[in-house]
Structure 1
Amino acid sequence: MTALRPALTLLLIAVLASGCAGMRQDPTRDWSASQLYEEAKAALDRGNFDQAVEYYEILEARFPFGRHAQQGQLEIAYAYYKAQEPEMALAAVDRFIQMNPRHPHVDYAYYLRGLINYERDQSFLNRWIPQDQARRDPVPQRNAFDDFGTLVRTFPDSRYAEDSRQRMVHLRNRLAAHEMHVADFYMRRGAWLAAAQRGRYVLEHYEGAEAVPDALEVMVKAYRRLRLDDLAGDALRVLELNFPERAERLRQGA
């Protein structure tokens, strides 16, 4: 009889656990698509992004078709973005664009994609310890530049177009500064051709960036080191035409 007690105890625990599990029913079990969407949207508006994500995921799983699910596909991307889950946010945006290429809010999807990439390197550490933007990984910034560019080209009259243009200006300066940071690295190590190529890349891809005069100056110096006097002269003439003070300073230091 004594030997049966442990087994009976385990059985009683299992029965009680099963009963408790049965009592913890899913509160959303009987919700309609409309209620799920409204609750998800309310959580999103409250800033409860994890709760919003949960409700949007349930909505898509239970009601994969219809206007609520379609709108939820876009809003869950924003919820992931605000919850600082950029990979999930990008996946949700890409899925929405692929499935709804003619949706009236697809311009916002491209804008949101740009925002996600724009802020991808804004980690907790970076927010509290300032870092040189030019030294950060440029890939998310390039992706953001392309995303905003797609929006501006495809939807020039979008309500998000002007903000996208302004962000592109900022990104262009960031990306050009990064190229010049790399060019400076090459110059200090005597890799003249690599430095000149970085300067040329800035001229070709980031016209109007703040780093353009730096790029021309690097090209002049690097081509001189390589004894490519014609190319150095061409770069110097462009510098003289557009930035005469920089050209004069370069001549004096030559």
Structure 2
Amino acid sequence: MRRSAPLQSRLRTVIRGLAIGLLAVSLAACAIFDKKPEQLLPDEPADRLYNEGLTLVAKKEYKAAAKKFEEIDRQHPYSEWARKALLMTAFVHYEASEYDEAVTSAKRYVALHPGSPDVAYAQYLVGASYFDQIADITRDQARTERAIQALDEVVRKYPDSEYAESAKRKITIARDQLAGKEMAVGRYYQEKRNYIGAINRFKTVVIQYQTTRQVEEALMRLVECYMAMGITHEAQTAAAVLGHNFPDSPWYKDAYKLLQSGGLEPREDQGSWISRSFKKLGLG
């Protein structure tokens, strides 16, 4: 099948361009091989580059510092200086709020140097980078989940490290964020009188995020939803569990008043999923 005239013209242009490109590459290659040894720039000493990077860090010139540390990895790969520089690269990217770059460098450090005494800090930087990007509860919480996973690695693998306690605190905050997201969606469903949808969200908080501050409100909302549906024994159980575990909670006072308005009182049904959930964790 013959090519059309425009296609033939385009093909000639491409071939002409390739020929010119190959000529340029050839000339460049000749120029490289014609260089004398003294014309090639020598590698800078790794310790000098590292100290220059530290000086830039002290000045908070993080992007310039990152280039110094990355140059060590390029010029002196597999050296001890390269190992130190890789961790500093992750650190300066984190300080510059370049979180994706920080995660990439820190994960690379963990993969290349799993036996290093600094691996706990590298793993912590991964979690902290995700943690600092947590969005408000109206938005996607994927980074919150990644933060929890990465920080949990610090707690599980390096429990005696100086970063374990900070990782635990961040996990607590992140889990509360996820619980808050579930509560926000549950309240939305409740306002729309989609009580089944609301109950499922509040149930998630009670079962998965029972140690967060959101659980008190979740139990109160369950009382409201079950009362609205006429499932009084579950409403009474939710209020009873709320009162038993959080007797001074203002949410319990609201739940108690709501039950009284219907001529009911808190009463725990031991067979309820609410009661079993709390007993399973030893909180009931």
Which TM-score bucket, shorter chain as reference?
0.7 to 0.9
- 8 Å Cα contact 2:127-2:147 kept in structure 1: yes
Q: 1:164 aligns with which of 144, 162, 167?
A: 167
State TM-score, norm by structure 2.
0.69
Q: Which amino acid aligns with 1:144?
A: A
5+ residue gaps, structure 1? 1-27, 123-132
Q: 1:181 aligns with which of 160, 172, 184?
A: 184
Bigger relative contact order (CA 8 A; separation at least 6)? 1
Distance 1:253 1:143 in 2: 44
Residue matched to 1:218? 221
Q: Which amino acid aligns with 1:113?
A: V
Distance 2:229 2:50 in 1: 65
Report the more deviating stretch, 28-37 or 161-170. 28-37
Structure 1 position 85, deviation (Å): 1.3
Distance 2:171 2:134 in 1: 16
Aligned residues: 217
- 1:155-203 C-alpha deviation (Å, 9 max, x unpaired): 1111111222222222232222222111111111222222112111112
Residue matched to 1:151? 154
Residue matched to 2:259? 251
Distance 1:187 1:54 in 2: 53
Distance 2:138 2:181 in 1: 6
**Aligned with 1:207: secondary structure?**
coil
State TM-score, norm by structure 1.
0.76
Q: Which amino acid aligns with 2:52?
A: E
Pair 253,120 (structure 1): closer, same or farther in 2 beyond 3 Å: farther
Structure 1 position 228, deviation (Å): 4.7
Q: Which amino acid aligns with 1:32?
A: P
Distance 2:98 2:227 in 1: 48
Distance 2:229 2:201 in 1: 15
Q: Which amino acid aligns with 1:184?
A: R
**Aligned with 1:135: secondary structure?**
coil
Residue matched to 1:203? 206
Distance 2:166 2:190 in 1: 36
Tell me if 1:86 matches 2:99. Answer: yes
Query: Percent of pairs identical after alignment?
Result: 28
Whichever of the two has the greater Rg, that structure is 2
Tell me if 1:40 matches 2:48. Answer: no
Structure 1 position 241, deviation (Å): 1.7
Pair 155,37 (structure 1): closer, same or farther in 2 beyond 3 Å: same
Distance 2:195 2:77 in 1: 57
Distance 1:114 1:230 in 2: 43
